[in-house]
Every structure is written in C-alpha cells, then in structure tokens.
Chain A
C-alpha cells in the first residue's frame, strides 16, 4: 500500500522541521521522513548563532528576513530552546579591520539592521575579558543564540500537533512523485522536499561540498562572555574555498557554557576531531581572549556544513517537477531555516514572498557548473 501526502519532507533537521511547521500551518498535509532522531544531523552540531550576515546582498536579505521570523517565534518557543538575544560583536583587531566595521555598519543601516560602532574603550566595557589593544567592534544587538536540536524538535512537534506525520526510515530514492524507503515502503507525493543536509548521494546531480567544522564546549561560566563574539576575520575564514581555516567565534549559551569555534575544512569525510586543528582554533581564540585557556573543556565535536559553490542555499523547484530543494545552508542553516521554509511554502502555495526568492533558486546550479540532469 502506498500512502499519499501533499508534501513529503525528507530529513528532520532544522530545515525539514521548519518546513513541516510552515506547511502544516497553511493546512497542508505533510509527512517527514527521518532515519535518525530529529535534529540529530548538522543541526545537532551547530552553534545556534542567529546572525545577520552580509557576505552578499542575497545573503543579507535572507538572514535578515530569517532573523525577523525567529523573533516572531520567540513568544512561543519553549525554554528548552534557550533563545536569547545577546547581540553579536564583530571584533576588529586593528585599524584596518576597523574600517570594515564602518563599512558593515553602513551596510546594516542600509538594510534596516540595527547596529552600533564601538571603539576600543566601549568594546572592553562591553566585553571585559577580551584582551586589550583591540580596535573596536560592531555591535548587532538583535542577533541571538538558541539551542538548535531543541528548536528543531519544537518545530517538528508543533507540526505534528497540527497533523504532520513523522515516518521513521531511510529514504533510498526520491523523485517522479515517489519516495522509497529502505524497507520497501513507498510514499506518493507530487511535492518532495530534499532537506537531507549533506546527505545527498542519492541525487548525483547535486554538487555540494562537505565542510567540516570543530566546536569545543566548556563547563559553565555564567557571565564570562556576554555577547556572541566573532572576529571580523571570520568572513575571510568563511570565504576561503580551498584551505583549512580557523576564526575566533565564542558564543555563550544560556546554561553558562561557552561554545568555542570555529574551523572550516574541505575534503574531510572523517568525523573524528583533528587535534591539530582544534589546537589552531583554540590558539586563535586565546589571541582574542587569553583567559579562555584556563576554562575547563568538556567536549569537542565536529559537524559537516553543506557548502554550495556560490555560498547561497538552494530553495525551490528542481528539474524534476516533483522534487524541491531546501539545502546547502553551509554555516547558516539554523539562522536561515524559518525564512527558507517560508520561501518554499510561498512557492508551493503560490503566495507572494516577502523577499525575492530568485537568488536562491536551485536552477542556478546548472548555470554555475554546467552539469545537471
């Protein structure tokens, strides 16, 4: 027997869960297929920084829109999601980076994102444990942090309460209106959403690269860090498309624990932590905040980001009229999920979108790489 659904979402990461929620809210009958625990993929590895990024106008538009959707959700999020607006501090190490602070400030202002330039003194008042001698920072006060697996679970449960079905199983084939599970189950749907994160081997035409990241979490030190701290050089790190890179990125969780990142590596399939890279990452962190070295680390883990060649996600229809994509979020999937889900729902329900969905359409994959279908 084949069950039929309006929409089948493959993958219950933050993207799939947000999508299920978005669609059930609109009265659509949705099934979500997941072979691990919901929120157990890249979503469990992420830091949960909800951040406006301005790498490109399209990235700025999507992250800004996404952040506003998270803000609307806050009143209903349970305490377990640990949503907290700490504000990002983009830290300038020297005067050269300080000019970037001003540029970023202008970009933010241009898009209606609140931000404030801090000089060296204001920065050390805002974040006394940073080393002295830093040039300043841009404070983006409405950026937030949350605990991603709990957020995914919440969104999925909200969808389930509204009628969505969670089906446990591994999808082995999807397309042409059908989803096949490894146990032989078939699901019929004219709208199949690929939200499998980095696991896209069943779709050989998808060209994404895995980008491995390391994180370290500490014991609880409430108040040690107040904001979400990122070095401006993070952009350079996130940009590097070839070599391994590290950047100072420290996020205080509501629990008082500190998440310390970040690293980016291509061509790595092995999930074990790389001691050399962890060392580089931590040294980078100590350069900004030497006292971190004395804190107690409780765990190191790794995760894989799904990187596209133009650093924008794929949201929308594909060459197969029954297949849709909701993937390729690299290091911003937690942030982007509600907006990406909304854009896809808009498309499926023929609604007008609040931002231009054009830059995220999967069709550009063909243009960019002359492969496909």
Chain B
C-alpha cells in the first residue's frame, strides 16, 4: 500500500497532535501517524475520545482541535524505515494480519517523544522491576497494582506523578527515592516557583502521594530476590537499608527518541535533534517537535508542536513569533538537566556480572576495554538485539561515555516480509 500526503507527522503525543492540528487548520493535507491504538502519547495514553466532561482542560482542547482540524489519523502504525527520499515505511501488526504502507510526504514532522533511561544495577532485570513511567503505563493498561508494595526510584520530575497515579490505582507506594540531592532540588523548585502552573501541579501530585516517603538524595543499590523482586536495597550515601516490595518502578529521567531523525540524516546535539527557530532540522523539509528536541514537558511539547505545524504549513513568521516562549522552556529544560543530573555513584552500581544489555545478555564486565560503542557492539553484540540499543545505549553512554552512532534500518524488528520494496510485493505471497 502507498499513500501521499503534504504533511506527515510521526508521533501523536501532545507535540504531534499540536503539529498536525495546526498544519491542517492552515489548509494543509495532514496525516498523523502513531504506533499506539489512539492519539495521546505518553501523558494522555490513548485518550480515545474527546470527552466533554474531561476534567483535563488542556487535553480536551488539544484533542478537540485535532478532531476538527481535518487531519487524518493513522493509529497502530509504526514507522520503521525510510526506503526512499521523501517517503517513510510503517507497519501495522496490531491485527491478525501484518500490513505495511509507504507514505510519501512533502513536509515531515518528527514528534517521536522520549523514553526512560535505565541504568544497570544488580537485580534490575528481575521480574517485577520496570521503568517508573513504564510501570505506570502498564498499570493504566490494566496490569493490577492493587495492594502491591511499590518502590518508585530513579530521578526526574516524573517520579512523583508516577507515584501518585500508582497510588490512585491502588498501589501501596512506600518510598519514592530520588537520587538528586535536596540542595539540587531546592534550587530547581525556586526556579519552578516562577512557573506557578508547574509548581501547583507538583504540589498536587505530592499531596496525592502522601503516605509514601519522598526521599531526595536516595538511590537503589540493588533489587533483591531470586525469581522475582522481593525488595530493594536503598542508600542515602551514608546508610543502606532494605525495603520489601513486589514492584519497583525505576527510571533515570528521559532520553529523546532520535533514531528516526538519525536515519533521515538530521543532525543531533547532546542526543537531541537540532532545530532552528521554527523547528526545522538540518534536513530542509523535516521538522521536529516535543521531547526529541529536548526534555521539557507537556507545555513545551504543545508549543513546539504548534511551531512545527505552522512551519510545515509555510507560516514561518507565525512560527517564529512563538520563539520567545520556546526559549523559556529551553531554560526550563536546562534546569531539569542540572537538577536531575546523575550522581557519579550511580555509575558504579553494576557488578561485573550485572547484565547491561538484556536482549543479548551482555554483562558489565564483558563491556570493558572497547574503544567506542561500535567496537563494543560489534564484539559483544551489546545493543544488537530486538530493542536496537534503545535500553542499553543510554546506559552505556552514561557508564562509558560512548555515543550511539549509526542507525540502521529497520528501526524496530519487523517481519522480513515487511522489509521489501512494498507496493510491488503482492506477487510473492501467491
């Protein structure tokens, strides 16, 4: 199957939704594509319908704008290759049959979001250990946390809202362990108080997470258990103690999803896609918005999405007019980075036999003595498994300073039958 569109938006989180709605409202023919079953992205996970009584005003307005904009929505499609210039290939394997589609575009907006960073520590691969946002997403998807003792650990502004949501869903969140020090956090919240909206949001979550201890300057040393997690060993740098739990949600802030951008040849800097004043990447008809351009949260995703939508629709001046607001979020993103910077102790948690690459079972010890990521990958197969290094790449960057380099198709494992040139394939299946 193949299809043409003027503007193609990949990723239907807040940024992609804003981009698609904006470009469509300005008369462009828009296709919005996402691998989840409905638009929403990480924060509004599959908020299937616009609900009049939706208590979340921003969500309701954003989804409504999308609905009336006339943008076409392709849910359940995942982009995995860029077989030709100006064309992406996506797969839909959510049903019993596998479909692929080639979509040609004039303008492309990359709004592929971010993912959690994992760091290896003893026991982190035990069943029952998840990412913090990942555990919340699982719970929202129906995985029961009711009555379970949960420790939330790691770093970043996500930990508190995650803990709050888990509690709302019946989990017994005993401790939220934030590795950033009290001092770092204090400086950050002083900054936040000049951003009232965010502060209030933060306090609400904090209130809801009441009942669990929020411990800054505290981090996990090991997940304990043999077949599944039974507890976690925590430390505040002075003391170490063990807390029993059935679930551990542990994530170390977010890293931008830049794989598709790299495949298309877009320049990146410090792991984020580089964009100009109107969200254009180094490739002239490719724009980027939201977390792939830097981790700055919901409002920033909406704003940069709008800018990218305007730019893709040729409204460059209007896009540029929003730049001062974007710069405010850029400062916020910088603050986030400093406030939640990883403490050095986290880089020595792994034991020699701690798995770093889960797909290929590569241990910390096995990764020592290589020159760079490519060398290590080649020799140990670290990062060569089905996740394509999405999990261990950011970890090895933190541990060894290696930067992921070349990206090879497919971006995600796909059936071989999806790899071919597409449209002319039918003869094969006879």
Q: Does B48 contact A (CB under 8 A)?
A: no
Most buried by B among A260, A275, A279: A275
Q: Does A219 count as interface, using CB distance less than 8 angstroms?
A: yes
Cα(A44)–Cα(B376), bound, Å:
12
Q: Flag if B421 contacts A299 (CB, 8 Å).
A: no
> A residues engaging B (CB < 8 A)?
37, 39-40, 44, 80, 149-150, 153, 216, 218-219, 255, 260, 273, 275-276, 278-279, 282-283, 285-286, 292-301
Q: Complex Cα distance A253/B418, Å?
A: 22
Contact between B379 and A294, CB atoms less than 8 A apart: no
In the complex the two chains form, is A273's CB within 8 Å of B408's CB? yes
* CB within 8 Å for A279 and B421 given contacts A149-B379, A300-B409: yes
Interface contact A297-B414, CB-CB below 8 Å: yes
Q: Which residues of B contact A273 (CB under 8 A)?
A: 408-409
Q: Is the CB of A297 within 8 A of B419?
A: yes
* Pairs A–B under 8 Å by Cβ, sample size 15: A37-B374, A39-B378, A219-B385, A219-B386, A255-B381, A275-B89, A275-B419, A275-B420, A278-B420, A279-B420, A282-B420, A293-B417, A294-B415, A294-B416, A300-B419
Contact B416 A218 (CB under 8 A): yes
The reply to whether A275 and B84 contact each other, CB–CB distance below 8 Å, is yes
Q: Are A37 and B408 in contact (CB under 8 A)?
A: no
B386 near A293 (CB under 8 angstroms)? no
Contact A279/B378 with A296-B413, A297-B416, A297-B419 known, Cβ cut-off 8 Å: no
Question: Beta-carbon contacts of B412-430 to A below 8 Å, as 1s and 0s?
Answer: 0111111111101100100
Which 4 A/B pairs are nearest by Cβ-Cβ distance?
A279-B420, A275-B83, A37-B375, A279-B421
Excluding A275-B83, A283-B428, A296-B414, 8 further A-B contacts by CB distance (< 8 Å) are: A37-B378, A273-B409, A275-B89, A275-B420, A275-B422, A278-B421, A279-B425, A297-B410
Question: Given contacts A149-B378, A286-B428, is CB(A298)–CB(B372) below 8 Å?
Answer: no
Give the CA-CA distance A300 to B409 in the complex, in Å: 6
- Cα–Cα distance between A131 and B386 once the two chains are bound (Å): 28
Give the A-B pair count, Cβ closer than 8 A.
Answer: 91
Q: Which residues of B contact A295 (CB under 8 A)?
A: 415-416
Residues of A within 8 A of B414 (CB): 296-297
Question: Could you tell me the distance in whole angstroms from the C-beta of B213 to the nearest C-beta in chain A?
Answer: 42
Choose from A153, A292, A301 the contact partner of B416 (Cβ within 8 Å). Answer: A292
Q: In the assembly, what is the distance between CA of A73 and CA of B55, in Å? A: 70
Distance (whole angstroms) from the CB of B166 to the closest CB of chain A = 32
Partner of A153, one of B84, B374, B379, B384: B379
Give bound CA distance, A300 to B408, whole Å.
Answer: 6
Q: Which residues of B contact A286 (CB under 8 A)?
A: 428
Contact B378 A299 (CB under 8 A): no
A282-B419 in contact given A298-B385, A298-B386 (Cβ < 8 Å): yes
Cα A286 to Cα B429 in complex, Å, equals 10
**Complex formed: what's the CA distance from A40 to B372 in Å?**
11
The residues in B between 66 and 92 inclusive whose CB is less than 8 angstroms from any CB of A are 81, 83-84, 89
